[in-house]
Amino acid sequence: MKIATVGGARNIRELSGLFQKNVEIAFVIDNNMHLDGRQIEGKVVYSPYNFPRNNVDYIVVFLYEYEAVYQELLDLGVDSSRIINFMNLNLDLYEYQNIFHIDVADTLRLKIRMDFTDKKIKTLEDSQRNFERNYVYEALDKFRNNDIKIPKVKSVQDTYSRIISDRCSISRYGDGEFEIILGNAKDIYQSDNTKLAGRLRDILISNLPNHIVAIADDYGAMEGLREENKNTIRGYMTKEKREKHYALLDMEKEYYNAYISRPYVIYPHDDIKAAGKRFDELKKIWEKQRVLFIEGDRTRMGVGNDLFSNAGSIERIIAPNEDAFDVYEGIYKAALTYGKDRLILIALGPTATVLAYDLAKAGYWALDIGHLDLEYEWYLKGRGYSYIPHKYNNEMLGDTHVTEVTQPNYAASILCSIGKQV
């Protein structure tokens, strides 16, 4: 019998002792894209989107995040009867006695549970510490107290309205853009680039009449966001990080809200109606507009969904998914050539932030929309981050193995391709 494991890539030797002598671990599935194709203890490691589907009898999941993994495996075509949740097996394990060595399994599972408990306690302690550190900003901002120093950020609704009423272009800043400015390149799809860092720094405090700068509203109350997202922000927004951000921002400037591109995943997932209303607001922007997408070569905005179905027309400029700023001049010239009298929607990481500004300066209407299309895909699925087979996704490590698109209207919409494609 052959099985694959999900998780446990670095503990293969110990995991091998769990199974009966006639059971072989054929390979390991791990979400760390840097392990894809490597061997650990003689076993090949595959990403979740690149493993041989039919070469094993069972897939055993050694992760507590089982539900998300289970759903992704189903989405990838794995039969549910072939998926085993090891962390939730009954203590006797007799249902699987032909697979597991019972005594060893009991012992190791207990050890895993103890390790998990320790990690959980540490996570709770970290969350509490982060909350206490950030509480003064959250509490006083909620009461609009002027005794604390917080950047001025308009609402998402105000951001929609300004874009529509004034045909304003928008450049968005998240933690990735700030980290590039600070010399700590965080975006795995854009390597450190001093020229890019300088451009991002300058645009952050710019003031064009037809262009707005948007930052994530992470500095105060974070009203309405999911608690998980609040915890992530609290962990990032240390006192040192807050001070570095403040030194880069114009604290007298009124910024717009970068969460315009996050209508779903950062909010409670059970409030589908509210998410639907946010997407409806966004759709008004490109209603009957001639739209030009500038996107990575496997971003494929609008493919497989109706997010842009109300647009008058759709055309595309394709750029590299990785290190797009290295071919910036080519992208910019193509945008000038094909973007006249178009609404230009850009999904190209930090490069989009710069490009939207430069196009606005040249008199074009350009919006940096980030992961908006992926957000819509997740919204349609009704559950947070999830695998979209035909779309490149840097939100999930390992989610770089995508299927090809065969729809003729997609290929027909491509005007040109710039630079080296992945």
CATH number of the domain at 73, please.
Answer: 3.40.50.720
> Residue 173: exposed, middle, or buried by beta-carbon count in 10 A (0-12, 13-18, 19+)?
buried
390 and 258 in a common domain: yes
Q: Which of 95, 112, 129 is the last residue of a domain?
A: 112
Angstrom distance (rounded) from CA 317 to CA 319: 7
Q: Which of 88, 112, 136 is the last residue of a domain?
A: 112
Alpha helices in 284-349 (DSSP H): 328-338
pTM over 0.75: yes
255 and 206 in a common domain: yes
Residue 422 lies in a domain: no
User: What's the pLDDT score for residue 400?
Assistant: 53
48 and 172 in a common domain: no
296 and 245 in a common domain: yes
Report DSSP state, residue 153.
E
Q: Is 271:167 a contact under the CB 8 Å cutoff?
A: no
178 and 96 in a common domain: no
276 and 226 in a common domain: yes
H/E element holding 255?
strand 254-257
Residue 142 lies in a domain: no
Residue 141 lies in a domain: no
Q: Is 60:2 a contact under the CB 8 Å cutoff?
A: no
User: What's the pLDDT score for residue 277?
Assistant: 95
Bridge pairing between strands 24-29 and 2-6: parallel
398 and 338 in a common domain: yes
User: What's the pLDDT score for residue 222?
Assistant: 94
348 and 233 in a common domain: yes
Bridge pairing between strands 43-46 and 39-40: antiparallel
186 and 40 in a common domain: no
Q: Which of 112, 136, 163 is the last residue of a domain?
A: 112
Count of other CB atoms within 10 angstroms of residue 292: 26
User: Of 248, 229, 215, 233, which Cα lies nearest the Cα of 133?
Assistant: 233
Residue 124 lies in a domain: no
Residue 297 lies in a domain: yes
Residue 140 lies in a domain: no
Residue 122 lies in a domain: no
303 and 217 in a common domain: yes
User: What's the pLDDT score for residue 398?
Assistant: 45
Residue 134 lies in a domain: no
In total, how many domains does the chain have?
A: 2
Angle at 65 between CA 15 and CA 185, to 5 degrees: 100
188 and 281 in a common domain: yes
Per-residue pLDDT of the chain (422 residues; tens, 9 = 90+): 999 999 877 778 778 888 888 999 999 998 776 677 888 888 999 888 788 888 899 999 988 778 878 888 888 889 999 999 888 776 556 678 888 887 777 777 777 777 778 878 888 899 999 999 999 999 988 776 677 899 999 999 999 999 999 999 999 999 999 999 999 876 556 776 899 999 999 999 999 999 999 999 999 999 999 998 999 999 999 999 999 999 999 999 999 999 999 999 999 887 889 999 999 999 999 999 999 999 998 899 999 999 999 999 999 999 998 889 999 999 999 999 999 999 999 999 999 999 999 999 999 999 999 999 999 999 998 877 777 777 877 665 445 556 777 788 999 999 999 986 54
> In which domain, by residue range, is 302 found?
149-417
311 and 200 in a common domain: yes
Q: Provide the residue type at 11 as one letter.
A: N
